[in-house]
Chains A and B, each alone.
Chain A
């Protein structure tokens, strides 16, 4: 118990330090640095990956509908926050659109989550009765249907049909997505450590046994699905703020796959894994590997293979390697903890104690 308290305090200190570092970085580095792009998008993807992990990793529901819920969140946010004086320009083919009022950013963020959650509750009724792959393909299908509906001309006054939505309020500081995503992820972690979280894990491990123990299967699955969608919706709204414009077109199944890969690389069933993986993933794809796309000369020698698109090939080979050889991902189903970190510093990669009984290098969650 005391140890737990100590951990909580340490955790808060670490978070405070993180925000302080971010704050200082913002003051020191020029705003155009790619670091901030990675940090902003990384934080947003961390939230969405954590929400997907709640579903796939902790409840054992293989859902591929994340992009659809993000789309709902992003649109909901944009529709309710575009300033009225800009609506004529944005909804240029629809006479300024239907909605002629705005709500504050924070309210819109919550509304974005709620809209996604309500939709999830509706489609959850039929879909959650399906098993594993069927559930995956049905949710993927729903995401595609949502995308088509949002592009429908008849809904134009609301969604601007297939045209871009823009000029809604954005965030300028990197701290904003960190704070929002941080709060949301904290709520997810609290949920996982509650009795509901234990019920989710029971369902994941053995549905029949869970039901026999008196866990209402459908109720808990529905709950996980709705909560996960809520946070995906909030993540979608944040993504809209990051992208400055949104278009239903961009929320393809490829986006869901990206998030799924983040979850897998981080470790299915590890929230901290999802967060770390999301920053690594975004940094690799948007920043570190970009030099592979440029034709490079070392002296007069032209480096072979390097040209537009090579970055993605390398990136997907790395991903395949992770999937095949480290199918548990970076963290497996464990979480980062201070014992874990101190253990790692004393004995990195277990090189010292390889022959000995495996030490508790990382604290097992739960």
Chain B
């Protein structure tokens, strides 16, 4: 009996194997160009990654074809989940390489971008980073581009906002252990804040931590006047909750990750004040806002709405994802080819006016951006209030 069962199990595995192979091979057709989407759909950055992917999917819905040298190609998105984890990143990236994508978009989170970078480099595939703000992503390579500003810029903007606009002298910084994004941004913030004449306290929390009681108490005891926590939205929601429960009473400050409706939900009706810097302010391009809201609320798109945390508030990362898709299309058009190498060369010359502003690359492959949007949460309505533009003088 056992042997028969073993035989059956083995047969099942073989069947699965064939199904897997045929599934991979059946999608070949003459006029298709594949764009890889290398984003986390689970793990700590799952929420942000999904919102970024939404922007790409919406852009693909708006513009499903591209003309290459007079021929119309269908654009097919190949989406993989890098699980927000550097040890799963290589396999996810290899999956895209083996699917023969022409260009890759992503990832949300700098650490996974760095981890997947070499795999793409070896295959000669260009990557357009969307919101990975750590300088290390594009440094020292020619295939990684990005359309957002960088942490040194963002950290400086935030520090000067805290010091000059909020008028505070002591900051409490909290980062997640082993997270290049939050540790990096905290570092640049601290450098700039100390240069301005402020003092900082820096602490980290381990992955999977859900108890932020003591961190909030630490900030209070340290006499900090601002709580800087550029962490993932999941931790952010818990921090906001604790800040409210303990009546923290000082402003919370964060970077682009907090520009998400998860934060709005968490902060609604709470006794907290929150300010963030970000890439896009809803209302910046009414046509885009209206279109994507209709698309999210359309029948049959419930899954997309769920990925956007169940409402149609637009996150900046979604707008950035949308722009990244069109930057990729521009490069493909300019390259007049589906060949990754040619697209990589064409990317350097791309100039595209997106919903988040003009996108052009400098000689490192970073977008030339010098303006950040500052916005704050209106805890009564649960919406963002626009505070102003910030840049380095």
Contact = CB atoms under 8 A, between A and B. Distances in A.
Contacts of A148: 206
Interface string B207-234: 1000000000000000000000000000
Given A249-B177, A325-B5, A164 B41 contact: no
Nearest to B97: A32
A296 interface: yes
Interface in B1-52: 2-3, 5-7, 9, 13, 16-17, 19-20, 23-24, 41-42
A166 B123 contact: no
B81 A308 contact: yes
Contacts of B117: 244
A247 B86 contact: yes
Nearest to B6: A349
B24 A291 contact: yes
B24 A93 contact: no
B98 A308 contact: no
B90 A242 contact: yes
A176 interface: no
Nearest to A321: B9
B136 interface: yes
A37 B94 contact: yes
Interface in A276-304: 284, 286-291, 293-294, 296
A337 B36 CA distance: 44
A309 interface: yes
Contacts of A288: 16-17, 20
Interface string A10-43: 0000000000000000000011111011000100
A247 B90 contact: no
B274 to A, nearest CB: 25
A8 B305 CA distance: 62
B140 interface: yes
A166 B114 contact: yes
A288 B91 CA distance: 12
Given A37-B91, A244-B119, A249-B207, A351 B3 contact: yes
Contacts, number: 117
User: For chain B, what secondary structure do more than half of its interface residues adopt (helix, strand, loop), or is it mixed?
Assistant: helix
Nearest to A312: B42
A34 B3 contact: no
Contacts of B24: 291
Given A151-B177, A248-B178, A287-B20, A34 B95 contact: yes
B20 A31 contact: no
Contacts of A255: 87
Contacts of A36: 94
B118 interface: yes
B122 A247 contact: no
Contact of B23 (A151, A153, A286, A291): A291
B15 to A, nearest CB: 11
Contacts of B123: 31-32
A92 interface: yes
A170 B183 contact: no
Contact of A289 (B20, B94, B119, B206): B20
A286 B89 CA distance: 11
B41 A308 contact: yes
B369 interface: no
A161 B178 CA distance: 8
A243 B90 contact: yes
Interface in B180-206: 180, 183-184, 187, 204, 206
Contact of B178 (A151, A309, A325): A151
B42 A93 contact: no
Contacts of B187: 93
B115 A243 contact: yes
Contacts of B85: 250
Contacts of B91: 37, 41, 286
B248 interface: no
Interface in B117-148: 117-119, 122-123, 135-136, 139-140
A163 interface: yes
A102 interface: no
B100 interface: yes
B5 to A, nearest CB: 7
B179 interface: yes
8 contacts: A30-B98, A162-B204, A163-B183, A247-B178, A249-B177, A289-B20, A326-B6, A349-B6
Given A32-B94, A243-B90, A289-B20, 13 more contacts: A30-B98, A37-B90, A86-B140, A89-B139, A92-B136, A162-B177, A163-B184, A164-B180, A246-B86, A250-B85, A284-B13, A289-B16, A308-B42
Interface of B: 2-3, 5-7, 9, 13, 16-17, 19-20, 23-24, 41-42, 79, 81, 85-87, 89-91, 94-95, 97-98, 100, 111, 114-115, 117-119, 122-123, 135-136, 139-140, 177-180, 183-184, 187, 204, 206-207, 303
